Structure 1
Amino acid sequence: MIALVQGEVVSKGIDRAVVLAGGIGLEFFAAPATLGSLVVGQTARIHTYLVVREDALTLYGFSQTQERETFATLMGVKGIGPKLGLATLSVLSPAELATAVANRDIVTLQKIPGVGKKSAERMAIEIGDKLGIVPATGATAVKATSGFNAETVVEALTNLGWNQAQATEAVNSIEATDAASALREALKYLGSKK
């Protein structure tokens, strides 16, 4: 696995860039936000995910570890390949994706190029299963008394790229009645800490 590439940015295009690392030009595909942060001639550090196929080895690059971890999770979901995984992260941040999945927000998932209603519904279920996210039930309790499995929420947050300490701090700082609500609140908490 090639997990990290650091070197001079030699070129960049609409959907890919080349970084010279150790005398080897490594081409990788990336989302527009990652490519926008690269400057030709300057050194860059890119978190990568290597996809091995029968006929090709393809690198996908990300500016943040959290994006790479989410991409890796997406690769484990049936029916989601590298192109759809990259398209997903081009439209939604890892936190937005987790929130959309937790809320079963089909409209948000349909913003991903190539994803219709049925695909969005399937994605919400399968990604939720992969991350251990339970759909929101619509119950609105004012004050929760630990009515959810905190370990499940911490695990979902770590799968999305936060470290154990950050995830635990977020879960201990929120109040919720179920895992989906807890995940939403924890993501809001972590988002406000940026």
Structure 2
Amino acid sequence: MIYSVRGKLIHTTTSSAVVECAGVGYNCQTTINTLKQIKIGTEVTLYTYLNVREDAMELFGFATATELETFKTLISVSGVGPKAGLAILSQLSPEQVAMAIATDDVKTITRAPGIGKKIAQRIILELKDKLAKAAVSDSGFSAVSGEAAAAVSGNAPKAIEALGVLGYTPADVSPVLATLDSSLPVEQLIAMTLRQMGRQ
């Protein structure tokens, strides 16, 4: 419903940011990582997610579209609500979340306050299952072909798998990865790919 809000940042708390747009202040619950990227008194854009409940409407805002998409991916897991999604993304970047899921790294996910081992395992299980389904779909991993596939080597396959957790197909990211040094660390490849795709 509300894709984004753009305006002057007029107030922040430890978990929210208020953006004034045309005289209306929108209170967006957000992450520590987003709060670090914005400054009171400046014009900001937050990518938003509106959560509608029986007793409340909550607006969540993020500094990058990638962080928003990662948030939506996390809360798609059964038992993982918006508060848990914010907790994880306050502790980890989208790239770190993707890597943790792709490598079955329960310990990294449990670094987030309130996220126990069972929830972390469920996140990994459900999202890796989605990734596996994407791999056999028409838009999944089988979509890599031609020159892009030939250029994917080194750490690039791991980066492709991790980016798949964020919803990107190999067809989306392989051409970009083919232009990068595949010997770079996986997390760096992920970050550089997202930047080049204009999603950060």
* TM-score normalised by length of structure 1: 0.75
Structure 1 counterpart of 2:141, which letter?
N
Question: Could you say which residue in structure 2 is the equivalent of 1:60?
Answer: 60
Question: Could you say which residue in structure 1 is the equivalent of 2:100?
Answer: 100
Identity of aligned residues (%): 37
Residue 167 of structure 1 is aligned with which of 173, 179, 188?
A: 173
Matched ranges for 1:66-105 at <5 A = 66-105=66-105
CA spacing shift, 1:171–1:151, aligned 2, 3 Å: farther
* Contact 2:102–2:161 under 8 Å retained in 1: no
Deviations 1:83-119 (A, max 9, x none): 0001111111111111111111111111121122222
1:46 Cα offset (Å): 0.7
Mapped partners of 1:168, 1:45: distance in 2: 29
* Contact 1:52–1:58 under 8 Å retained in 2: yes
1:133 Cα offset (Å): 8.1
* Contact 1:91–1:111 under 8 Å retained in 2: yes
Question: Is the deviation greater in 119-128 or in 161-170?
Answer: 161-170
Deviations 1:36-86 (A, max 9, x none): 222222211111111111111111111100000111111211011000001
Question: Residue 97 of structure 2 aligns to a residue in which SS?
Answer: helix
1:26 Cα offset (Å): 0.5
CA spacing shift, 1:104–1:156, aligned 2, 3 Å: closer
Unmatched segments (≥5 aa) in structure 2: 135-139, 145-156, 196-200
Unmatched segments (≥5 aa) in structure 1: 135-147, 177-183
* TM-score normalised by length of structure 2: 0.73
Deviations 1:7-30 (A, max 9, x none): 111211111111111221110111
